[in-house]
Structure 1
Amino acid sequence: MTRKLGKKKARLALALLLVPVALLTNRVTASASDPVEVRTDAGVLRGEVSGEARVFNGVPYAAPPVKDLRWKAPQPVKPWTGVRDAKQYRSACPQQDNPEAPGGSTTEDCLYLNVTTPVKQSAKPRPVVVWIPGGGFFMGAGSNYGANEMATRGDAVVVTINYRLGIFGFFGYPGLSGSGTYGIQDQQAALRWVQRNARSFGGDPRNVTVAGESAGGMSVCAQMTSPTATGLFSKAIMQSGSCAFSWADNSQYPGQAGDSFWVPESRVRQTGAEWAAATKDKLKCTPGQAMLDCLRAADPAVLTAETLQFTQVAYGGTATLPLSPAKAMKAGLFHRVPVLSGNNHDEATPWVAAFNGGKISDADYPRMVKDMVGAKQAAAVLREYPLKNYKSAAEAWAAVTTDRIWSCTQVANDLQAARKVPVYAYEFADTNSPLAQPGQGAAHAMELPYLFSLGGAELPMTPAQQRLSEQMIDYWTTFARTGNPNGPDRPHWAPVKHGDVNGLSLAPADQDGGIKPVNLSTEHHCGLWSKVR
């Protein structure tokens, strides 16, 4: 696999820090004589060949959610006549300026997906991987994840999607149906598109894996607990994100209260009502105009400027998420599909800079732990993470917050899922990822270039890292094909059993023993964090 340095490396490095299956209705296959022309249920697409892959970009899976469709469930695509060009990506969904969407976006016409599939014909339908991007539910786009290597090496169809973000995807207001769930509904609309059209691209609609990282991983877990996602996928991959993800007081940012991404619909609606009342002048409502009418007529640029206030997902008000995904998973109320789930070894290191620029003294450390867990529980945490075990107080704090926020919430989710379905747990441990920043180790999102090209960039890797990338793609796509990641030329991966969560540590062969077994529960002190919340 050739790795070339792309121009967007620096921008991407910053950006990334942050059941039975329904039967197919459309059975039209691609023409062998013209492999880049495909008929979907809405019309004919013309993509292009890229190396050994066929690529179809900017494919609409739902109607543009504009004007009266703002803050409504995704609606069907209007069919087109003739041949629609599918060579170019379409706009990212509205979001503020960030390295994944330089300059940001205010384009609400954004419900598009991208399909990558091998050029080579297959005697039988291929597994389908549907990738949900991360980005804290306020940024990100499917177009940033190039899937040629995953599709061709893994012999799979890979679909990357956009979905509504921030205020457009998770806004709520009294009387507004679907409040706080529009982004989750978009993801399901994309999965339904896959059910209808997978076979046209050589894919098997009965063998769909929904996958994602960070907010994308949390989205996957939300779909696992959503009754309206029944039949839309048969396997799930959660990278650095799960139903149990949460944070304690002052753990990610100073002054931030403990919370999670799942909140009651009543809270989302109340937040929306309070925000609308406070922002009425900016919205330029006319006298006597109903607030919802004013909101739907508002300039998308005005709404995008306020988008960071709406990054939590609502439950309890609709069929989409009738329960908190965390509570549903704990109660065993989830779709019975195999799961591949894991974290990165040093997830929280990028957030250390939020605390005095990362300059944490030995005297600061116990105070910060106390501010996080309270005086009664601080002593137990400090005994488990003594300063003498770390090179610095900043490193100790990174370990504490990695384990509390990321690793042990994922471990808890894995144990809950393993009661009912096969679960394969992992930890990405390469401290020298092409995205790695000095001193941060295997931080959040560092595994992504081992699975995708990012923003069109093939980042440079050592031979050992290239081999790890190949093995990870093999694990991921074999899991997508069979529900079991194991195969030749890579270490055996045992599923989680009851008790501790054992899995694989994923590192290059020239680093700390390469791929090897790891007890994730013990390594991240999850016995402590099951008691200290």
Structure 2
Amino acid sequence: MNTKPVLSIYKGIPYAEAPIGQLRFAKPQPKRPWLSNGTALDATEYGPICIPGLFGQGMYRTLSAQPPTVSQSEDCLTLNIFVPDAVVADEGPLPVMVWIHGGGFVTGTGSNTDGSVLAEVGRVLVVTLNYRLGVFGFFSTGDDAAPGNYGLWDQRLAIIWVKDNIASFGGDSERITLFGLSAGGKGVAMQTATPVNNRTLFKRAISQSGATDDSAVNSPETAAMRSRQLADLLGCSDSMYSTHLVDCVRRVSAKNLAEASNQLPVEFVDFSPFYPTIDGEFFPDYIPNVLTAGHLGQYDFLTGVNSNEGTLAQSSDKIPSSIESYEQVSAIIEELLVSTFCKCTNAREAADEVAFYYTSEQGSSDGRLNRGAILDAFADVLYTAPCLNNVNLHVKANLTSRGSTYLYFFPYRPEDEPSSEPDIITGAGHGAEVPYVFGDHLRDSPGTEKGNLSSLILRYWANFARNGNPNEDGIPYWPLYDLANESYIILQPDIDRRRRLQAGQVAAWLDYLPRIIDPSDPNKCSLDVPMPSLNVSKHNRTRTVEVTNRNGEMLGTVVGEVRLSDHAMGGLQVACFMGIPYAEPPVGGLRFKPPKPASSLGEKPLDLRGKVPAACPQNTTKDPWMARIGFNTTSEDCLTLNVYAPVDGEDDTTLPVVVMVHSGDLKSGTSSVYEANLLASMSEAVVVSFNYRLGPLGFLSTEDVVSPGNYGLYDALAVLQWVNKFIGSFGGDPTQVTLLGHGAGSILAHLLVMTDETTRGLIKRAVSLSGTVLSPYMQNPVQSAPLDRAKALAEKVGCTTEKSEAMVECLRHRPAADLVDNTPELSFSFPFPIVVDGNILKESPSEILQSGMFQDVEFIFGIVQDEQAALAASFLEDPTRCPTEEEVEQLIGTICKESLPNPDVASLALTTEYLDNGRHKPEDKNCSTRGAFRRFLHDYLTVAPTLQAALHHASTETPVHLYTFDHIPMDRYQAGLPHWAGAAFGDDLQFLFGEPYSSQPQGESQKSYRLKDKKTTLELMYLLSNFVHKGSAGVPKSVFAWPHFERSELCYLSVDPCPEARSGVDDGWKHKLRFWSELLATVAKPRPTLSDTTSMPSDPVCIIGTLGLEISPETASLLIEILLGVSVAIFAILMTLAFSAC
């Protein structure tokens, strides 16, 4: 005789450690065993419920009407198990049903659901659970600092606990079914959609009035915005870094945190400001992409909706009790539904379509029916349409898996449960099926209509949990759902079966409306990226290399450390050798001279492990990257290079080489701050970075043989020569060298391509980022000559200036710090410029480009979307204020005086071009004058010189590519950028070096990264890797082709998380080229002297004396043609003067 009790309930079993302290806003940690003291856990009382949001806003305020029956606490991660002991004794291990409660992810508990009847009658084990809610469960900064979804991870850990332990209670761990209502139903659907789960964890899922779609999940941007809003309320928004913000919010009391979160605004369809979020792991991508990935097809799936889901919105104060006009219906739908359903630019049009569809049959004059129409639209967009979308996607995924699919519709409302609004709501409201599922009516009203229906529904659910099929002998048949028939069951006393549930409404939301909306921020591509590994950069290996040249002559031995790169970055082991001397210390008599190659590394191995080479003398606060990590070590003995060499593989295959030239306006910067091991791994190349002399030590020139200048350029040449000789020792191929420069380093790299005879055979490919030899900083005719600058420095440090020999000899004996401290700050010019010295640089770069006498190498040019944002802000008296046109005219005039000859004419042309003609795309939607000034600076210093240089190289047969970097990072290269700044100078560097996947500490910054950041770095590094290996940029990971840059279309690639090819013609680049290279070059020529204007020219000329122009008739004709397309104002001015003079 079976003496087992009928039912046992185990309450409050902890499945995770208390999520407090550092575990707040973190994944749950499994509960440690509690039997260490030999005492059994008291499981007779429910555990505390998780702290809910404090309702009082929106339509969901009534959800908090159910008062908690037990205490609330952050230490709430417990579960409860209902065990039908007698059934277990008779039938052995039973199926397990894990209930996930609803409540909008902000309220509810597993403790208020009684699973006794379902367990006993259904012959299953029932588990209910708590998970973190509201801000505690779903706070997210949209990046690595606090990715979010902790409540979903709680659910998953509870399921894992059940999987591991349910056998001890008589459950079958191979037959686990998840089921849940509303937000719990969404949670179930999310657990089936995420790639972190699979069928080995649970087999089946029942989603009741809950589905996964875009409206159920926040974007990282929305999550970040809301976390910042919360931080503002809590006084935690001082730091720009998410990690600091999270640490601050972690220290806030639970009560204050919950209260503050309740003060934030929420969308109509949101229960809380904090919701599930695209986090890169649980949801690795936009929800439509996650759903179509096919993960959900591996589970048996049962889902459905009720007939009046709109009852959830009945209490909303945004839906009046009577809505009298069609216009009011449309306005409410636009505000409450469409603005959430589609983040689109044509919300009014879409709202009108929805309003017409839901009111057309009964007209729009009945205020009560109009209210009902809005409730119906709400139900369809949030429940019915997403449910059908999920079920259809499940069936499609089933084509390659074994899951079964079932759909239900629940319309039943018993007579003893009258509707609160019987004129518009007659069926089953949201959640009305739950008492039937758990057998409440079977227990309380046996033999009645609703008691019998409860018995039937309970059996369907339990049968499905048992074998993936709700059917059994003796009960109405429930057909499978498939795409051919779309069959579903109607759960009511008189069971019915039909096809195509709510077909019209579903088609409206899933088919018609998506075709007419214009998304404001369309999801152009996938954000699915690998998550960073943990502890991948621990250094536990060393690498010793004998450095020899091709003839076997030995330079010395170096010892470096091996770092394992993140798997997303190629996962290679990279040997890092930091600080290999490539030249003798440039001190004493070697100061102001070309570098002398290092003859030996010494007799003993040079141990470089843990070394960070000193930078060349400079003001270290001027380099943003150095300032950010607190690097301030300098020395004149600085001519060192770093080698990052992949060491995976045992064959003799050599790798291409990337030689990186750092930025810094030729007066700051160092290779020591760039961790290039990830770049080496991702590109499968040997990466070399190096220091070169800066400021006066690198570029001071007396314009004669005493001190010709260009020593920093000679340093870079020496590195190329060293690489050519010795890089084979590190596995590099000296014939496959890509020279990559950034900023001023890009100018140096481009110059080395110009020096055809000197560097021929040393460079195969080149990448110039944010700088070319045509930069205005290279040749500023307004600033003083190089010799004058050398004399000015000499005077400041107490040296004679009468003769070059004596002056230079004196400067050689002055401390390097004195020379650095007295380096001038010049506008639109390097403090000590690169000069035509007759040796390494025989002609000006512009002359070399015009002649075509440069190396024909494969080339990539890159610029940043808002390159000069920081410079623009520095010129504005108040960057937050919109300047007047007069102020912008004055600023342009000032810049012309500091950088252009004939500044009055140039200023007139430029102000007319950028302020008057409307030809340029708006750079600043909130302030056209500020946008015009930004565009002028960007075109002057970045776009025009880059396009001109790229076209010169494109005139050869070797491919040239150009890209713009358009992604705005959270952590900017330059501090203090205004809110309107786009991607600015240096913002691309962190992505070039793979920092979103770096586990290296970055000083005090504690940076964190978003999915878009990770995607951008993968795209950029993938393109560079292709170029380094093949000389072709290839196809981005997002499968957009990158055409060559040619004069006809000026095609380029816009690099962001979703790269796409664009035509510069569409961006007005042809006009920019003509304006800057032809018109401005003509009108901004230096004024001719009186003798120039009165002497007899050899050819006919037109002289515009007032403006100081001397042009040929052909140029005048060209000027007329250009001006006709530029500005009526300039045309009128110049032509009046021109024809009076010709």
TM range (shorter): 0.7 to 0.9
For residue 29 of structure 1, what is the aligned residue in structure 2? none
Match of 1:131 among 94, 99, 103: 99
**Partner letter of residue 80 of structure 2?**
N
Match of 1:450 among 433, 436, 460: 436
For residue 94 of structure 1, what is the aligned residue in structure 2? 51
Contact 2:314 2:375 in 1 (8 A): yes
> Is the counterpart of residue 238 in structure 1 residue 218 in structure 2?
no
Paired residue secondary structure (2:501):
helix
Match of 1:337 among 276, 292, 299: 299
CA distance in 2, matches of 1:474, 1:367: 45
Q: Give the C-alpha shift of residue 402 in structure 1.
A: 1.8
1:38-57 matched pairs, under 5 angstroms: 52-57=6-11
Q: Give the C-alpha shift of residue 217 in structure 1.
A: 0.9
Among the aligned pairs, what percent are the same residue?
A: 28
> Is the counterpart of residue 347 in structure 1 residue 309 in structure 2?
yes
What TM-score results when the alignment is normalised by the length of structure 2?
Answer: 0.38
CA distance in 2, matches of 1:70, 1:101: 25
Contact 2:385 2:509 in 1 (8 A): yes
**Partner letter of residue 170 of structure 2?**
G
For residue 498 of structure 1, what is the aligned residue in structure 2? 483
CA distance in 2, matches of 1:475, 1:403: 25
Q: 1:353 to 1:277 in 2, by over 3 A?
A: closer
CA RMSD in angstroms comes to: 3.1
> Is the counterpart of residue 489 in structure 1 residue 474 in structure 2?
yes
Match of 1:425 among 365, 385, 407: 407
Match of 1:169 among 137, 145, 150: 137
Q: 1:86 to 1:183 in 2, by over 3 A?
A: same
Q: 1:298 to 1:162 in 2, by over 3 A?
A: same
Match of 1:395 among 365, 368, 372: 372
Contact 2:53 2:134 in 1 (8 A): no
Deviations 1:342-388 (CA, angstroms, capped at 9, x unpaired): 01111013314424442223544355456655454434752464342
For residue 82 of structure 2, what is the aligned residue in structure 1? 116
CA distance in 1, matches of 2:46, 2:18: 15
Match of 1:365 among 329, 335, 360: 329
Q: 1:68 to 1:473 in 2, by over 3 A?
A: same
Higher relative contact order (CA 8 A, sep 6+): 1
Contact 2:358 2:374 in 1 (8 A): no
Deviations 1:417-459 (CA, angstroms, capped at 9, x unpaired): 01213210001111238776423431111111112378x9976
Deviations 1:216-251 (CA, angstroms, capped at 9, x unpaired): 11111111122222221100110101113x5xxxxx
For residue 163 of structure 2, what is the aligned residue in structure 1? 195
For residue 64 of structure 1, what is the aligned residue in structure 2? 18
Contact 2:304 2:408 in 1 (8 A): yes
**Partner letter of residue 491 of structure 2?**
L
> Is the counterpart of residue 320 in structure 1 residue 297 in structure 2?
no
Q: 1:369 to 1:278 in 2, by over 3 A?
A: closer
Contact 1:167 1:306 in 2 (8 A): no
Q: 1:366 to 1:336 in 2, by over 3 A?
A: same
For residue 262 of structure 1, what is the aligned residue in structure 2? 217
Q: Give the C-alpha shift of residue 495 in structure 1.
A: 1.1
Q: Give the C-alpha shift of residue 307 in structure 1.
A: 3.8
Paired residue secondary structure (1:65):
coil
1:16-35 matched pairs, under 5 angstroms: none
Q: 1:76 to 1:331 in 2, by over 3 A?
A: closer
CA distance in 2, matches of 1:174, 1:415: 30
CA distance in 2, matches of 1:64, 1:175: 24
Aligned pair count reads 461
Q: 1:488 to 1:316 in 2, by over 3 A?
A: same
CA distance in 1, matches of 2:171, 2:74: 29
For residue 85 of structure 1, what is the aligned residue in structure 2? 42
The structure whose residues are more often helix, as a share, is: 2
Contact 1:100 1:144 in 2 (8 A): no
Q: Give the C-alpha shift of residue 134 in structure 1.
A: 0.6
CA distance in 1, matches of 2:80, 2:488: 32
CA distance in 2, matches of 1:453, 1:67: 40
Contact 1:343 1:428 in 2 (8 A): yes
Where do 5+ consecutive residues of structure 2 fail to align? 55-63, 263-271, 339-346, 515-1142
Contact 2:234 2:249 in 1 (8 A): no
Q: 1:490 to 1:529 in 2, by over 3 A?
A: same
> Is the counterpart of residue 532 in structure 1 residue 516 in structure 2?
no
Contact 2:409 2:491 in 1 (8 A): yes
Q: 1:263 to 1:526 in 2, by over 3 A?
A: same
CA distance in 2, matches of 1:437, 1:102: 26
Contact 1:521 1:527 in 2 (8 A): no
For residue 12 of structure 1, what is the aligned residue in structure 2? none
CA distance in 2, matches of 1:293, 1:357: 43
Q: Please, which moves more after superposition, 499-508 or 69-78?
A: 499-508
Q: Give the C-alpha shift of residue 460 in structure 1.
A: 5.8
Q: 1:408 to 1:175 in 2, by over 3 A?
A: closer
Paired residue secondary structure (2:91):
coil
Q: 1:123 to 1:432 in 2, by over 3 A?
A: closer
Q: 1:382 to 1:160 in 2, by over 3 A?
A: same
For residue 280 of structure 1, what is the aligned residue in structure 2? 235
Paired residue secondary structure (1:424):
strand
**Partner letter of residue 447 of structure 1?**
E
Q: Please, which moves more after superposition, 345-354 or 420-429?
A: 345-354
**Partner letter of residue 210 of structure 1?**
L
Deviations 1:448-507 (CA, angstroms, capped at 9, x unpaired): 1112378x9976688000011010010001000000101133211111111563211111
Where do 5+ consecutive residues of structure 1 fail to align? 1-31, 36-48, 247-259, 509-513
Deviations 1:11-38 (CA, angstroms, capped at 9, x unpaired): xxxxxxxxxxxxxxxxxxxxx98x6xxx
Contact 1:344 1:429 in 2 (8 A): yes
Paired residue secondary structure (1:130):
strand
